[in-house]
């Protein structure tokens, strides 16, 4: 039987199940088997790996994962696709389809209950464009016992996540991703490889989860609040952005924060490294708590 990721098989599955593509769920199905095989290979999936997949759709990527992995747990939010997946995944007993929104799943508990101790756990997914960032931030901030995350997403979003300081793509999203992981854009996927064809090209982003965050900070919540505030208005200086966000600090206190952290308040957020945000955050934590 032909692979699911071909135009003829995809159309045949859609017609048999009387399905239409649901734009609200960002459904664009990949029709290039070679790309899926590369994703599985780059992710390092083998028969010792348990995979968590988000948004399997009709099972094109799931099928390729199932050929290599010990087990695949595929979370699908669209109820219309559950019967489809039971059909397309019927040759693969090592696939478990779960009808649930990944954003509502306690993945730490799920992994503890379903994955034998000592097994490698990896996340592999073709993420819906409209919800890429919330899903990734949940996966990263939950401190899951996973090795890596290999995901397809909009090319521009992948570039932002892997961006370095002093580049136009660098921002709070870059810092959040790099705080938890080492990131690398490993491949671009043209929009012509999908049906229906999206408006933009995609990219495969690989994230290797760090055993410890990239920087050690006193108050992680404050660190991310500070980062977010620093990019509030990209063209404004750090001083102006932080003055706007931290109203409890007066001008003298804010100047003292910059002096003690050895950060020039006239710089812009995009020029600071993750470490520099850490210095700033740790000093600011002393002043914020005192107000």
Q: Which residue ranges make up the annotated binding site for S-adenosyl-L-methionine?
A: 28, 30, 55, 76, 101, 126
Query: What is the token pair recorded at 180?
Result: 């938890």
Residue 239, H or E segment: helix 238-245
Beta 148-154 vs 202-209: how paired, if at all?
antiparallel
Q: Residue 188 carries which DSSP code?
A: E
CA distances to 66, 70, 94, 216 from 50, in Å: 10, 6, 10, 30
Contacts of 174 (CB under 8 A, 6+ apart): 160, 161, 162, 163, 164
Residue 187, H or E segment: strand 181-189
Binding positions are 28, 30, 55, 76, 101, 126
Nearest Cα to 52, choosing from 145, 127, 123?
Answer: 123
In the three-class reduction of DSSP (H, G, I as helix; E, B as strand; rest coil), residue 128 is classed as: coil
Q: Residue 104 carries which DSSP code?
A: G
Residue 279 in contact with residue 286, Cβ under 8 Å? no
């Amino acid at each position: 039987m032909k692979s699911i990721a071909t135009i003829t098989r995809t159309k045949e599955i859609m017609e048999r199940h009387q399905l239409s593509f649901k734009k609200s769920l960002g459904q664009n199905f990949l029709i290039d088997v070679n790309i899926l095989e590369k994703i599985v290979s780059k992710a390092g999936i083998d028969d010792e790996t348990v995979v968590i997949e988000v948004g399997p759709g009709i099972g094109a990527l799931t099928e390729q994962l199932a050929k290599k992995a010990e087990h695949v747990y595929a979370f699908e939010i669209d109820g219309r696709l559950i019967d489809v997946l039971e059909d397309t995944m019927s040759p693969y007993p090592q696939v478990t389809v779960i009808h649930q929104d990944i954003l509502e799943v306690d993945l730490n508990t799920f992994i503890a209950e379903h994955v034998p101790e000592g097994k490698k756990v990896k996340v592999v997914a073709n993420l819906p464009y409209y919800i890429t960032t919330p899903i990734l931030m949940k996966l990263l901030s939950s401190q899951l016992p996973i090795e890596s995350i290999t995901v397809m997403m909009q090319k521009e979003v992948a570039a932002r996540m892997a961006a370095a300081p002093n580049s136009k793509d660098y921002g709070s999203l870059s810092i959040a991703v790099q705080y938890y992981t080492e990131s690398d854009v490993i491949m671009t996927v043209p929009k012509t490889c999908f049906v229906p064809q999206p408006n933009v090209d995609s990219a495969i982003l690989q994230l290797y989860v760090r055993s410890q965050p990239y920087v050690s900070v006193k108050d992680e919540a404050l660190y991310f609040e500070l980062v977010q505030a620093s990019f509030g208005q990209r063209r404004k200086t750090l001083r102006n952005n932080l003055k706007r966000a931290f109203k409890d600090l007066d001008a003298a206190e804010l100047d003292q924060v910059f002096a003690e952290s050895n950060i020039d308040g006239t710089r812009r957020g995009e020029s600071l490294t993750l470490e520099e945000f850490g210095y700033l955050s740790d000093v600011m934590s002393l002043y914020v708590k005192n107000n």
